[in-house]
Amino acid sequence: MNIGLVLSGGGARGAAHIGVIKALEEHGIFATHISGASAGAIVGALYAAGVHWSEILTFFKTIPLFHAKRFARKKPGFLNSENFYDDLKTYLPKDSFEDLKKPLFIPAANIIDGTSTIFSKGPLIKPIIASASFPGVFTPTEIDGNFYVDGGTLNNFPVEPLKNKCDKIIGVCVNPLKTVSIKDLRHSYSVIERAYKIKVAAESSNKFPDCDMVISPQELVKYSTFGMSNMDVIFNLGYTAAVKELQNHKDLFTS
């Protein structure tokens, strides 16, 4: 049985994806195809390369991919995305989609022409970095003369590449929409940010029917995109939510 795994973007909340993978493996479920955006691209690539979930969690907790330590100079972003290549190369030494143990699909948004590209062949690390390059925080990533930013900008829940390849699809969304009141929207930026989050959440949830099971821990609303101090808590939220959903879908993966 071909089992697809969709991993959404979500920054530090992407640690929940790792908890989901642990739960799936404990229940004897191993994805054969993976599609991930932004943080989901990082987790998905490492998982597709055969890196154990515990090592992926260590990567999230120790590699400064989301840490404000590597500032860009005279570039459109606070952090230079190119500086993270060597961190990923340690785990992905051959830097190739073809060297992965599972097919992997990574979306990134072309910041010039506004299109979304799905990467699945050739060099691997630059598409990962591109897909995780949160606009304005990380500099755009250049690939073959084109400039890309966060895959979640246009496709935060990239289920499309899996629809004709998998018998079952598991979706993991780590961007639940927080309940707010008008009093929470205190300035223009908060309104803009809220509108963007609504857009991303709606586009993702509209694709949930394409999945046979969706895991989306609502408790993740308590944690921010770049808050790195709660990795273990976020990991456990993903694990617990996955175990609960698996209990509700006991017969879904029986062949």
- For the chain, the domains span 3-249
pLDDT in tens, 4-37: 999 999 999 999 999 999 999 999 999 999 999 9
For this structure, is 95 an active site residue? no
> For residues 205 and 166, what is the distance between their CA atoms, to the nearest angstrom?
20
* CA neighbours closer than 13 Å in the CB half-sphere of residue 46: 27
- Show the DSSP H helices in the chain as ranges: 15-26, 39-48, 53-62, 85-91, 125-131, 188-205, 231-248
Largest CA distance in the chain: 56
**Options 35, 131, 133, 150, the catalytic residue:** 150
**Options 38, 131, 133, 216, the catalytic residue:** 38
Q: How confident is the model at residue 74 (pLDDT cuts 50, 70, 90)?
A: low
User: For strand 104-110 and strand 33-36, is the pairing parallel, antiparallel, or unpaired?
Assistant: parallel
Distance between start and end Cα atoms, the chain:
7
DSSP states of 201-216 = HHHHHTTGGGSSEEE-
> For residues 28 and 31, what is the distance between their CA atoms, to the nearest angstrom?
10
Q: Which of 26-30, 62-66, 190-194, 214-218 has the lowest mean pLDDT?
A: 62-66
Find out whether 15 and 53 touch, Cβ atoms under 8 Å. no
Averaged pLDDT, 96-120:
98
Q: Which residues, 6+ apart, have CB-to-CB distance to 198 below 8 Å?
A: 177
Find out whether 49 and 101 touch, Cβ atoms under 8 Å. yes
Torsion of CA 203, 170, 44, 174, to 10 degrees: 50
Q: Which of 80-89, 106-115, 141-150 has the lowest mean pLDDT?
A: 80-89
Question: Out of 2.60.120.560, 3.40.1090.10, 2.60.120.10, 3.30.2010.10, which CATH number does the structure's domain 3-249 have?
Answer: 3.40.1090.10
**pTM for this prediction:** 0.93
Amino acid at 74: K
Find out whether 117 and 148 touch, Cβ atoms under 8 Å. yes
3-state helix, strand, coil in the chain (%, to 5): 45, 15, 40
pLDDT in tens, 119-130: 999 999 999 999
- What percent of the chain has a predicted confidence (pLDDT) above 90? 76
For this structure, is 167 an active site residue? no
87: nearest Cα among 42, 118, 143 = 42
